[in-house]
Amino acid sequence: MTDIPQITDSHCHLDFPDFEGELPEIVTRATDVGVTRMVTICTKLRQADAVRAISEAHAPVFWAAGTHPMSAASEPLVSADDLIALAAHPKMVGIGETGLDYHYTADSADVQKTSLRIHIDAARQTGLPLIIHARDADEDMAQILAEEHRNGAYSCVMHCFSSSPELGRAALDLGFYLSMSGITAFPKSADLRDIFAAAPLDRILVETDAPYLAPPPKRGKRNEPAYTAHTARRAAETFGLDYAEFAAATQANFDRLFSKAAAYKEAA
């Protein structure tokens, strides 16, 4: 085990029904291939207790909480105080996922923007990284992220980044991070890989977004944290690195951005 490069699945959804009754095995399969940490994401605050419990039951698992933009109109509007209270938990390490999604839910754009700004305020106050979901909303996303950053600095990762080069550059210019999901390993994702190849290596994370977006050779199957290794091996090629070098870089990046998780690991 000590000879296997260690990586972190920075974004998964272990509370989803897809994993019911299998979590011990799923976590074990991940750690067996070097995925030694996982951040499971709560997308509706009413599910926070269940997500927190997963982190408490499994040593390698941390959690984050927020209201997903596609649920912003159907869930109660979150408050910064709600998120700050959740952040008191020792394994709660990020704010979100939040963001803007105009692909299916453009009609709720106004409430999505309000929710996003609330999450940014909570990230700013807690010092925890903001976890952003962006889909078909590049112009508004870039504008809000920059405007809010001028109002007060905060840290951020663009989760499962698959947007335009312009949004990627805007995020990087603010000091933010881009996360590589299984999409980046798809054969037809050469343009997306080019965006990442042009980004600084010290701003790159890897993730699954499990149970979605399984990378080759698991494409079409239920994704799980262990498959982060497949995405990371393909990502290493994008950066012209061997796997161990790339894994070490992304571990350092995760520790820098998710410093609360890194400190917890050191104190454990």
What pLDDT digit, counting tens, does each position of 146-182 carry?
999 999 999 999 999 999 999 999 999 999 999 999 9
Binding-site positions read 11, 13, 97, 133, 159, 209
Higher pLDDT residue, 14 or 1? 14
- pLDDT at position 2 is 56
Residue 60 falls within a domain, yes or no?
yes
pLDDT in tens, 206-257: 999 999 999 999 999 999 999 999 999 999 999 999 999 999 999 999 999 9
Q: What rounded mean pLDDT belongs to the chain?
A: 97
Binding-site positions for a divalent metal cation read 11, 13, 97, 133, 159, 209
Residue 1 falls within a domain, yes or no?
no
Residue 2 falls within a domain, yes or no?
no
- pLDDT at position 3 is 87
How many beta carbons lie within 10 A of that of residue 201, not counting itself? 16
- pLDDT at position 180 is 98
Residue 266: band (very low, low, confident or very high) from pLDDT cuts 50, 70, 90: low
Percent of the chain at pLDDT exceeding 70: 98
Range of the domain at 185: 7-267
Residue 22 falls within a domain, yes or no?
yes
Across the beta sheet with 35-42, the strand order is: 7-12, 35-42, 61-65, 92-101, 130-135, 156-158, 177-180, 204-206
pLDDT in tens, 240-249: 999 999 999 9
Residue 226 falls within a domain, yes or no?
yes
Distances in Å between the alpha carbon of 25 and those of 32, 63, 189, 218, 265?
A: 10, 19, 31, 17, 22
pLDDT in tens, 28-68: 999 999 999 999 999 999 999 999 999 999 999 999 999 99
Mean pLDDT across 137-148: 98
Domains contained in the chain, number: 1
CATH code assigned at 214: 3.20.20.140
> Which amino acid, one-letter code, is at 173?
D
Tell me the pTM. Answer: 0.96
Residue 1: band (very low, low, confident or very high) from pLDDT cuts 50, 70, 90: very low
Residue 219 falls within a domain, yes or no?
yes
Residue 87 falls within a domain, yes or no?
yes
CA–CA gap between residue 18 and residue 46 (Å, rounded):
19
- pLDDT at position 134 is 98
Residue 128: band (very low, low, confident or very high) from pLDDT cuts 50, 70, 90: very high
CA–CA gap between residue 149 and residue 40 (Å, rounded):
26
Residue 130 falls within a domain, yes or no?
yes
